[in-house]
Amino acid sequence: MAEVVGFSKEGRIGLITINNPPVNALSRAVRAGIRAGTEKGNADRDIAALVILCEGRTFIAGADIREFGRPPMAPHLPDVCQLIEDSPRPVIAAIHGTALGGGLEIALSCHFRIALPTAKVGLPEVKLGLLPGAGGTQRLPRLAGTRAALEMITSGAPVAAAKAKDMGILDEIVEGDLKAAALEYANTVVDRKLPLRRASQLKAAVESPTLFEDFAKANARRFRGFLAPLKCIEAVKIATELPFPEGMKKEREIFIELHDSDQSKAQRHVFFAEREVVRIPGLPDDLPTRDIRSVGVLGAGTMGGGIAMCFANAGIPVTLLDMKQEFLDKGLAIIKKNYANTVAKGRLAQEAMDKRMSLIRPTLAYEDLKDADLVIEAVFEDMTVKKEVFGKLDSICKPGAVLASNTSYLNIDEIAAATGRPQDVMGMHFFSPANVMRLLENVRGAKTSPEVYATAMKVGKKIGKAPVLVGVCDGFVGNRMLAKRTRECGFMLEEGALPWQIDRVIYGFGFPMGPYAMGDMAGLDVGWRNRKAKFDTLTPREQKNNILDKICEMGRYGQKTGAGFYKYDEKRNATPDPMIEELIISHSKEAGIARRAISDQEIIERAIYSMINEGAKILEEGIAARSLDIDAVWLYGYGFPVYLGGPMFYADTVGLKKIYDAILRYRDLVGAEYWTPAPLLEKLAKEGKGFYAR
């Protein structure tokens, strides 16, 4: 195997070159190699300065995340960083790509840092539920100021080279060949005998006496539920209060505490799940896919308009079709308004908006879809209409075009059967608002060819979505599981809970909103319509649980009508409505259900465990191939708290035996038709295993 860290001499400059693809992560071998190179350079009298440089696409992108969770092995990163900083010979970091996490910490330990204009630097550890553990929290505030360090460390967002130079993180931006520029820079440092700037010897400037409290307060919403950002603030504060060596000791202690926390384990799981989810089990990564250069979208309504925007945003031309000119005009006007809002907020240039608008071509003629590589249908949710549309597409679209439906609930196989090419038909289930929500459930029909769904996965990624491959069933993965939560919450209202209690508990669990506030925001009529459509499939208890019907019958559709489960003021602030409380209490009476106090714990268990049990069934049925697919759906599409890792990862954290026992309790309380353990969950629980650790 080639050496992961090389050492060479270029005149009087010692060059430490790291070559550990794909991202030059700091594995043990890399740490050892940097240490060896630094020692070698300092032991050689002919060497006057050292340069640290990386091969491949990027500078060091951080510690090797795959080594987390295993016993740490020497040399430890903080020690390597200290060795660099203590080097009597100047050490220069030459950065291209991304210097992230431990990579930036190595660079911050160097005496000088230069970078290409395209480079970025950042400390993304917080996104893994960690804090920079090799001096990042101690050196960055000393170099860039405390406020800037707080922002960078708690957000984890990378900073572009030019800004990093302004902040004092980089000394110089260089153009052209990085190695040549680095050698030149190193020679200049030697010639001019520039003093070595050791970050640890600087003092961190605290810009205001209330900086830390103010910062935590201003970001309380962003940090809600997360452990790491608060610990990051604590560590940066220490940098302003304690001498460097003591600060380093404290940083290490906090790093270990976070590293061992369930939150960090969950967030590390999410990091790998995000990357794994686009790989389809059983298919090679290099399976040829179809080129998608132009797209057709049917229906210029809520979803069609948003979907068209997704493609235009990625520079892919879209033909947008509807039945009547007025529907097209309305759809386009909404698209235009959405873009204009983004421009007004300064997040999009006017020219970019114009370009995107020009990529969306409205039409009334199916004929205009004949050259599209991919067609996505987003017309009314009605099987007869969908079949008619797919029949037409079959007769018009070119051979090899991917034909997709955005249906929420209808059977993709039945839709595919309306064509003579079911192998080219699949679901592409976007979430509303489609131009914002990241989740894309790609639904593989029984006959969809692997090449077709692999194409949808690739194109989904290209347009910035988080595509997850799922199978055909009612509600696919996300809505099918959500239906269980909705049912249990509805039952709990009858049994003694109130909407605001359930919302408080679900919000406290970490979701962005509780189910009732969410329903009010989305419009209760949507769920009401859905309930009516499915009424015959509901159990007698579900049919009789008609609180939603009663609220909608009063014209209370949620925020848009000023009232729903809550009442709203003109600024759309919600307050619990005594009238709804009365309605629910009298409903319980009519249904003959004696109301009782429902504990917060019961709400969590019934809302979340019911979904986990359904998730287990989804796995058994092969609707989702892996637990991580289910977790990805919930993380990207439903705001499941990232620090819990998704419902299936969370289930493992709780312990399947505990969940199994709770399911049996609720079977006795609510009934076996709602609470029967999924065989997979039962098996794993009895074997003492988890969804991941099987």
d(CA 291, CA 554): 51
- List the x/- string, 476-515, binding to ligand NAI by CB under 6 A: ----------------------------------------
- Reported as type and span, the H/E element at residue 360 is strand 360-363
Chain residue whose CB lies nearest ligand NAI: 301
**Complex with ligand 3HC: residue 74 or 672, whichever CB lies closer:** 74
The nearer residue to ligand NAI, 249 or 324, going by C-beta atoms, is 324
Catalytic, out of 3, 39, 85, 105: 105
Structure tokens at 238: 């220490």
Q: Which of these segments, 122-130, 363-371, 430-438, 570-578, binds ligand 3HC (CB under 6 A)?
A: 122-130
Residue with tokens 């629910």: 584
Which residue type sits at 309?
A: M
Percent helix, strand and coil across the chain, each to the nearest 5 = 55, 10, 35
Structure tokens that stand for 108 in this block: 């911050």
Instruction: Considering the complex, state which of residue 98 and residue 408 has its C-beta at the smaller distance from ligand 3HC.
Output: 98
| Residue with Cβ nearer ligand NAI (146 or 407) | 407
Q: Which partner in ligand NAI, ligand 3HC, none is near 519 (CB below 5 to 8 A by kind)?
A: none
Partner residues linked to 536 by β-bridges: none
457 forms part of the interface with ligand 3HC (CB under 6 A): no
Which of the listed partners (ligand NAI, ligand 3HC, none) does 132 bind, with a CB threshold of 5 to 8 Å by partner kind?
Answer: ligand 3HC
Task: Exactly one of 125, 377, 602, 614 is catalytic; name it.
Answer: 125
Q: Which stretch binds ligand 3HC (CB under 6 A): 22-30, 236-244, 325-333, 491-499?
A: 22-30
Binding residues with ligand NAI: total (CB under 6 A): 23
- Residue closer to ligand NAI by CB (options 200, 408) is 408
- How far is residue 415's CA from residue 379's CA, in Å, rounded to a whole number? 13
25-84: contacts with ligand 3HC (CB under 6 A):
25, 58, 61-66, 77
Interface of this chain with ligand NAI, residues 403 to 432, rule: CB under 6 A? 406-408, 430-432
For the bound state, the minimum distance from the C-beta of residue 322 to ligand NAI, rounded and expressed in Å, comes to 5
d(CA 603, CA 690): 23
- Residue 229 binding ligand 3HC, by CB under 6 A: no
Total residues belonging to the chain = 694
Of residues 266-295, those binding ligand 3HC (CB under 6 A): 275
518 binds ligand NAI (CB under 6 A): no
Stretch that binds ligand NAI, among 129-137, 190-198, 378-386, 679-687 (CB under 6 A): 378-386
- CA atoms of 297 and 658, how far apart (whole Å): 47
Q: What element of type H or E holds 159?
A: strand 159-160
Are residues 141 and 251 in contact, defined by beta-carbon separation less than 8 angstroms? no
The verdict on 321 binding ligand NAI (CB under 6 A) reads yes
Of 123-131, 364-372, 380-388, 603-611, the window that binds ligand 3HC (rule: CB under 6 A) is: 123-131
Query: How many CA within 13 A on the CB side of residue 539?
Result: 11
Phi first, then psi: what are they for 563, rounded to 5°?
Answer: -160, 150
Among candidate residues 22, 26, 15, 20, the one with its CA nearest the CA of residue 3: 20
301 binds ligand NAI (CB under 6 A): yes
- C-alpha 689: how far from its chain's center? 27
Asked about 687 being catalytic, the answer comes back as no
For the record, the structure tokens of 602 come out as 């019961």
Contact in structure between 515 and 483 (CB atoms under 8 Å): no
Task: Report whether the peptide linkage leading into residue 75 is cis, meaning its omega lies within 30 degrees of zero.
Answer: yes
Task: Write down the least CB distance from residue 298 to ligand NAI, Å.
Answer: 5
- End-to-end Cα, the chain, rounded Å: 33
Q: Are strands 49-54 and 13-18 parallel, antiparallel or unpaired?
A: parallel
Out of 68, 223, 271, 327, the only residue in the binding site for ligand NAI (CB under 6 A) is 327
CB of 448 vs ligand NAI, minimal distance in Å: 18
Q: Would you say 160 or 385 has its CB closer to ligand NAI?
A: 385
Q: Is residue 228 a contact partner of residue 126, using CB atoms and an 8 Å limit?
A: yes
CB-nearer residue toward ligand 3HC: 65 or 343: 65
Chain CA centroid to CA 496, Å:
35
3 state SS of 22:
coil
- Note whether 401 binds ligand NAI by CB under 6 A: no
> Tokens standing for 21?
């693809």
Is residue 303 at the binding interface for ligand NAI, with CB under 6 A as the rule? yes
Q: In this chain, which of 99, 100, 454, 473 binds ligand 3HC, going by CB under 6 A?
A: 100
CB of 259 to ligand 3HC, least distance (A): 9
Considering the rule CB under 6 A, would residue 393 count as an interface residue with ligand NAI? Answer: no
Cβ distance to ligand NAI smaller for residue 321 or 396: 321
Partner interacting with residue 61 (select from ligand NAI, ligand 3HC, none; CB below 5-8 Å by kind): ligand 3HC
Residue 511, token pair as written in the block: 């979701």
- Separation CA 259–CA 255 (nearest Å): 6
* CA atoms of 215 and 219, how far apart (whole Å): 6
Among 60, 378, 393, 457, binds ligand NAI (CB under 6 A): 378
Residue 75 CA to residue 72 CA, distance in Å, equals 9
Give the nearer residue to ligand NAI in terms of CB position, either 381 or 451.
381
Per the annotation, the verdict on 105 as an active-site residue is yes
Regarding 692 and contact with ligand NAI (CB under 6 A), the answer is no
Q: Is 174 in the site for ligand 3HC (CB under 6 A)?
A: no
Residues 146, 124: contact at Cβ < 8 Å?
no
Instruction: For the chain, state the CA radius of gyration.
Output: 29
**Which string of DSSP letters, residue by residue, matches 423-440?**
GGEEEEEE-SSTTT--EE
Nearby residues of 117 by Cβ (< 8 Å), 6 or more positions away: 161, 162, 173, 175
Binding mask 431-470 for ligand NAI (x = CB under 6 A): xx--------------------------------------
Cα separation values, 678 from 180, 473, 606, 609, 690, Å: 63, 17, 15, 11, 13
Q: Which is nearer to ligand NAI, 68 or 409 (CB)?
A: 409
22 binds ligand 3HC (CB under 6 A): yes
User: Which are the catalytic amino acids?
Assistant: 105, 125
Which residues of this protein are in contact with ligand 3HC, per CB under 6 A? 22-23, 25, 58, 61-66, 77, 98, 100-102, 105, 124-125, 128, 130, 132-134, 136, 275
Which residues of this protein are in contact with ligand NAI, per CB under 6 A? 298-304, 321-323, 327, 378-381, 385, 389, 406-408, 430-432
